[in-house]
Amino acid sequence: MIIGVPKEIKRMENRVALLPAGVSILKAHGHTVLVEKGAGVGSGFSDELYKEAGAELVDDPREIYAKADMIVKVKEPIDYEYELLRKDQIVFTYFHFAASRELTEAVIKSGCVAIAYETVQKDDGSLPLLEPMSEIAGRMAPQEGAKYLEKAMGGRGVLLGGVPGVEPADVTIIGAGVVGTNAAKIAAGLGARVTILDVNLQRLRYLDDIMPKNVITMASNEYNIMKAVRRADVLIGAVLIPGAKAPKLVTKEMVAQMKEGSVIIDVSVDQGGCVETIRPTTHDNPIYFEYGVVHYGVANMPGAVPKTSTIALTNATLPYIIELADKGFETAIKTNKELRRGVNIINGKVTHIGVAEAFGLEYTPIEDLFKLD
């Protein structure tokens, strides 16, 4: 198989989808790897390293899209890339379709096979390709919250951990999954007073056992969210429904009641966000103000630490890339349920119910397209 690795062109995105080590392994399996020149530079991997590993370096991304049987990326294609997608070409990346009708319609039109990292799912419900980036985004969220609480950044002028004789900041986290747990760990370690909310009481019991005493667990409902949001100096949105739009749990009325100069970090913005007033921003223009509250809506937070993020991501994705390359798409999804769950769109048909429901599109179970167990 010919595997193509184009350079990421989303604004301020420096990650790359494949390391030189991955190129070497794929070459050993008999595959050809095309890498766009400069694709790995932002993550600290030179063209020379890819060449030494056996990659063919390509100047023009159009050549990669034209030749490759499978494209591996980090972020979803953007408008320039839509016309480069081909029928039956495998595209393996983070898509987050439910946040963008334009992207969804473009991929449907292309006829490609869209396998989304974020919906590859194990039998226990875990998301192995989303987890490493969720860990990073969760750990970054309190850092960003602490920074934007500073007066010079437009915040309240509050130190997250306080000092002796001065109370710490209040951090409210909505969602106790991978993002929320990692955010709570870092915020608590910095000395903040942390409240984490979730609908899963078993999860809250677990966190109550393992977290330090400055982390308080709370059942998630409208009343408790409203109360916790109102007292928050930093609010972190960490809600996920795999493949679907995030529910709007924090209304604009709740935001209007927050303290002036408080900070919202909505990590779920790549799935539409769980805060009604959030919208996507970029690393070079990360914040805006609504109701006197700092809003941080960067949709690719791990892109700020590309070396860490690239290594963490490719550690998780490489086994699946190898399986797709060795077996081909149809055999791989027939024999691997995890990959099968990752298929969101194939040949113009939407095969993930969350994507279909987000835009009122026809849903076609993947089992109807192939003879699957």
Give the residue numbers marked as catalytic: 96, 270
254 is in an annotated binding site: no
188 is in an annotated binding site: no
337 is in an annotated binding site: no
In whole angstroms, give the CA distance from residue 132 to residue 69.
26
214 is in an annotated binding site: no
36 is in an annotated binding site: no
In whole angstroms, give the CA distance from residue 273 to residue 333.
30
15 is in an annotated binding site: yes
270 is in an annotated binding site: yes
59 is in an annotated binding site: no
Taking the CA atoms of residue 82, residue 84, residue 86 and residue 92 in that order, the dihedral angle to the nearest 10 degrees is -70
199 is in an annotated binding site: no
88 is in an annotated binding site: no
299 is in an annotated binding site: yes
In whole angstroms, give the CA distance from residue 196 to residue 238.
10
> Taking Cα atoms as reference points, which of 171, 359, 366, 166 lies closest to residue 264?
171
- Three-state SS string over the chain comes to CEEEECCCCCCCCCCCCCCHHHHHHHHHCCCEEEEECCCCHHHCCCHHHHHHHCCEEECCHHHHHHHCCEEECCCCCCHHHHCCCCCCCEEEECCCHHHCHHHHHHHHHHCCEEEEHHHCCCCCCCCCCCHHHHHHHHHHHHHHHHHHCCHHHCCCCCCCCCECCECCCEEEEECCCHHHHHHHHHHHHCCCEEEEEECCHHHHHHHHHHCCCCEEEEECCHHHHHHHHHHCCEEEECCCCCCCCCCCCECHHHHHCCCCCCEEEEHHHHHCCCECCCCCEECCECEEEECCEEEECECCHHHHCHHHHHHHHHHHHHHHHHHHHHHCHHHHHHHCHHHHHHEEEECCEECCHHHHHHHCCCECCHHHCCCCC
300 is in an annotated binding site: yes
267 is in an annotated binding site: yes
301 is in an annotated binding site: yes
276 is in an annotated binding site: no
268 is in an annotated binding site: yes
> Binding site, residues?
15, 75, 134, 198, 203, 220, 239-240, 267-270, 279, 298-301, 323
Feature table: binding site for Mg(2+):
323
Positions at the binding site for NAD(+): 134, 198, 203, 220, 239-240, 267-270, 279, 298-301
Annotated binding site for substrate: 15, 75
